[in-house]
Amino acid sequence: MSAPTSTNAPRTGAQAVIADAVDPARRPDVLFRVRREEGQQVSAWWMVGGFVLVSTAVIALLGFVPGGA
């Protein structure tokens, strides 16, 4: 039995993905992660607005539950 030869190929699939990745923030299996330039962060008001919108929708839908107050 011969000794294993040394190659530059990774040993696992995960290492292959990391080795072949150009920009991990734009991998096709990551849906919502976006790398932005410095100073181009999303405004916190988008998060506040999203929270208010989802909370309002949940409260409105709870009005359709029978036996509520």
Domain ranges (residues) in the chain: 13-62
Distance CA 69, CA 64 (A): 11
Check whether 69 has a pLDDT greater than 60. Answer: no
What does pTM read for this prediction?
Answer: 0.46
Give pLDDT, residue 45: 94
Q: 14-27: b or e for each residue (b if 16 or more CB lie within 10 Å)?
A: eeeeeeeeeeeeee
> Does the CA dihedral 27-28-33-35 come out positive or negative?
positive
- Tell me the pLDDT tens digit for each residue of 9-60: 546 666 666 666 566 566 666 677 777 787 888 889 999 999 999 999 999 9
Residue 10 neighbours by CB distance under 10 Å: 13
